[in-house]
A and B are shown apart, each in its own frame.
Chain A
């Protein structure tokens, strides 16, 4: 059983409902600090021992005009007493800090769900900005939900009055007031948040004290409302028990941090230093930010002048004997494409992380999508195969990054690691792995002339060519993007040589399939009526949907593919053991097409490209339909 690190007031637990899971969405103006509120509520859930998944959803504008519909920033968390794989289909509770937040989010709320609104912000100006003709808090239009509203803005101002802050600064404490109320509602300990505020505002104790006062006031408001303080509105209270979890040390992790740490771990297991070339782009920049602080781990980060220089410098570093890594999102990967071809031609190790976002072109910079699969697998000039791996969750990025480093260095090839905006930003609990349980895969640089002479494009039994560091005497050679001669690597355009080299490059990448784990069925049986095949961040909703369907007695299994290219050798046979195959993906059917092409199976698509992750019920419905 999971045990919270801090004890909870057990007395209160007996009196209040204990639901299995709750979904809460905090929504407000992008300046209201909703992501921070959500982040700290997530920490509180973790400390209470809940399993959880989060979904931060924010606008592309940094400071969108206040009060507007497009300036709404939201953070959703699903926390529960059992396994949680998604951020939840529909919220049970919506905290709306202004009319725009209510308008853009209330339609998602469960019927009968609870709305908590800051009535202080429902003034004529904000109502007009949210395109409300009349105040929805007063016209009965929210009748199918429970509604409580009070003036959070004023209550916050009152709470922080003793600290002499200006109006603007005082109102900034609103999010902590709201968090305090949420902590009370879900029977949580305030102490870790107070400690966090003290640390965060260590240089400005007045701000720390004001925020703590706001937090306490929000909490106290819940308490006094409960005992029927005149003028206060009663707020329902719930306690979600701790989820069972394997013993060990846990932390919250998002995909960007997992990528940074996984890449460091991979390089340590390989015994090479890392060079990271990056260029700022949403949502991939966080990987660069994290790695820039890891200097003592042998990491050099380089913020290049553009995406092309970012990858070109990484290729240069790989040539010089470090592992080059670059990271971007779809549009940036498009710019890197020519250089990826160079890395394939020169057969240098390289890791390319793509945190996918909605496309095409600039598309939806802060929204998630899985529409770069064709780009990863096929998107280059020439016959240019390279391995592609996709992570399924924030924590899984850590292991996928290690796997990418392993394949890149063992096979002398660029590797693309696919994550997405959802994985990059979302947080989940992660059991901190024991690094001694990972098997090292040390690289060996060629440092002498081997028997039979030195061949820069000679091959080992995996078809990998030798990695030679410039500076090594006796092994001088030249590489480049022009077709290489078999073995010698000299320029050679002859027909027979190009055929041979194209076959070798393809054979090398195809051969990786023999060095990756066989495909397993992550839920269900090895054959049956229906397989739901997923890749990447659709793991959560597919897993829950299949679990629910199986609980109803339906013959359906979940297969989740990590190695997108080359695919596990048993995948085709495994898929053929099912009568039907459906492939839910956040694109118009890209992996479905690859599966059809590779295995001639009648895989059916289930597509969603709204910039939002799948909901469980959407996949459940598709399962129902397929089995009908």
Chain B
């Protein structure tokens, strides 16, 4: 009966279930689970008002480990189930947990339409560039040449870029993080603070089938030079402030510039503006290697949400009308037999 007593401020422990976590030892999902459980007490919502909804895949086991309401649905359909949940009860705090195969392959259609409609929820896409639960086939985010049981000689099709897909679908909040990053809770908080569909791509290390595929930017060593953590209103600096992102005015593309003595202004470094959609498009497409990996909140510009529009229209059209079933069924072309 502890749940009945109001919780002033919960602790991460309060958001853990008694269920045994069944991911592979060392899986990046553990770190994401911890980050979410650490973030939840900061958000001001009660466990009973929170629903985690997932599809199918390793990541989609997530709801079983959260002491909230939870629904482990079918492959790819979590956004559709979430839409019904949120429309039926807009007061609930809805989180969708999905993966690269779940959200972009079998469930791509639902992901697109959820973002287009702008349902108020958080979508955490765990991107490990592989199908883990089915033992290692390449996924829609796998890089060209990925060798897997289904592509023994290397994959030949080009991968999707999750954040570009989200922006193209009309997302109003797009962010990136990675499993073991200490910044992940801040990204999650920003996603929760956004009213509307908040899309978060979380790079996740599948230690069994795609080990260290993100190591080139996620490894702690040299991270400063390879990660660009974006902050609204702040210059896009990395590598300890020695480098920045500027606009090449000839080609209208981004470029990396050197910053001397902290004088980023004269180097032309761009100040991040989360409401600049064109900039967000450039950041998500920025090729890693030549550029650092853009992380944090790339875009955040709220618009009215689908659920609030539905509630508003339902209320407006019901205003002043008394539901009278007898009158409803008696309407139309009627006649009386005496």
Contact = CB atoms under 8 A, between A and B. Distances in A.
Interface string B294-338: 000000000000000010011001100111011011111111111
B109 A319 contact: no
A63 interface: no
Contacts of B257: none
Given A245-B337, A321-B89, A472 B80 contact: no
Interface string A292-328: 0011111010101110111011111111111010000
Interface string B44-58: 001111010100000
The 7 A-B residue pairs with the shortest CB-CB distance, nearest first, are A316-B84, A480-B72, A312-B80, A313-B84, A478-B70, A320-B88, A309-B80
A324 B73 contact: no
Given A47-B335, A473-B3, A305 B330 contact: no
B200 to A, nearest CB: 21
Given A249-B334, A277-B84, A316-B81, A480 B328 contact: no
Contacts of B318: 295-296
B77 interface: yes
Main secondary structure of the interface of A (DSSP, over half): mixed
B68 interface: yes
B84 A480 contact: no
A320 B84 contact: yes
A593 to B, nearest CB: 29
A588 interface: no
Contact of B74 (A49, A268, A306, A342): A342
Nearest to B110: A309
A320 B85 contact: yes
A46 B326 contact: no
A531 to B, nearest CB: 33
B252 interface: no
30 contacts: A3-B337, A247-B338, A249-B334, A252-B332, A253-B332, A268-B325, A275-B84, A275-B88, A294-B328, A296-B317, A302-B310, A308-B80, A312-B84, A312-B110, A313-B87, A316-B82, A320-B84, A320-B92, A432-B334, A449-B1, A470-B69, A472-B48, A474-B3, A474-B48, A476-B3, A478-B71, A479-B72, A480-B63, A490-B19, A491-B19
Nearest to A4: B335
Nearest to A429: B335
Nearest to B70: A478
Nearest to B63: A478
Given A251-B334, A321-B88, A474-B1, 12 more contacts: A2-B337, A47-B335, A247-B338, A296-B322, A302-B87, A304-B113, A316-B80, A318-B84, A342-B73, A476-B69, A480-B72, A481-B73
Nearest to B330: A432
A477 B326 contact: no
Contacts of B83: 302, 304, 309, 313, 316
Contact of B48 (A305, A398, A476, A490): A476
A140 to B, nearest CB: 42
Given A309-B110, A479-B70, A300 B87 contact: yes
B33 to A, nearest CB: 14
A46 B110 contact: no
Contacts of B330: 249, 251, 432
Contact of B80 (A248, A313, A398, A449): A313
A496 interface: no
A435 B326 contact: yes
A368 B290 CA distance: 62
B79 to A, nearest CB: 8
A65 interface: no
A287 B337 CA distance: 28
A310 B81 CA distance: 9
B333 A315 contact: no
Contact of A478 (B49, B69, B314): B69
Given A309-B77, A320-B84, A480-B71, A5 B336 contact: yes
- Among A273, A275, A319, residue most surrounded by chain B Cβ atoms (within 10 Å): A319
Nearest to B106: A308
A278 B326 CA distance: 26
A471 B89 contact: yes
A150 interface: no
Nearest to A274: B88
B77 A339 contact: yes
Contacts of A478: 17, 63-64, 66, 69-72
Interface string B11-48: 00000010100000000000000000000000000111
Interface string A474-499: 11111111100000001100000000
B32 to A, nearest CB: 17
Given A297-B325, A338-B74, A476-B3, A471 B80 contact: no
Contact of B338 (A3, A252, A298, A339): A3
A346 B83 CA distance: 18
Contacts of A247: 337-338
Contacts of A346: 71
Contacts of B82: 316
Contacts of A253: 332
B250 interface: no
Contacts of A69: none
A246 interface: yes
Contacts of A294: 328
Contacts of A341: 74
Nearest to B76: A308
B329 A322 contact: no
B249 interface: no
A265 B189 CA distance: 43
Contact of B85 (A257, A435, A470): A470
Contacts of A312: 73-74, 77, 80-81, 84, 110
A1 B336 CA distance: 11
Nearest to B116: A305
A296 B321 contact: yes
B77 A471 contact: no
A264 B3 contact: no
B50 to A, nearest CB: 8
B4 interface: yes
A313 B117 CA distance: 14
A477 to B, nearest CB: 7
A471 B48 contact: yes
B255 to A, nearest CB: 39
Given A3-B338, A249-B334, A432-B330, A305 B110 contact: yes
Contacts of B89: 320-321, 469-471
A313 B109 CA distance: 14
Interface string A1-30: 111110000000000000000000000000
B307 to A, nearest CB: 10
A161 B314 CA distance: 46
Contacts of B179: none
Given A309-B113, A480-B72, A251 B333 contact: yes
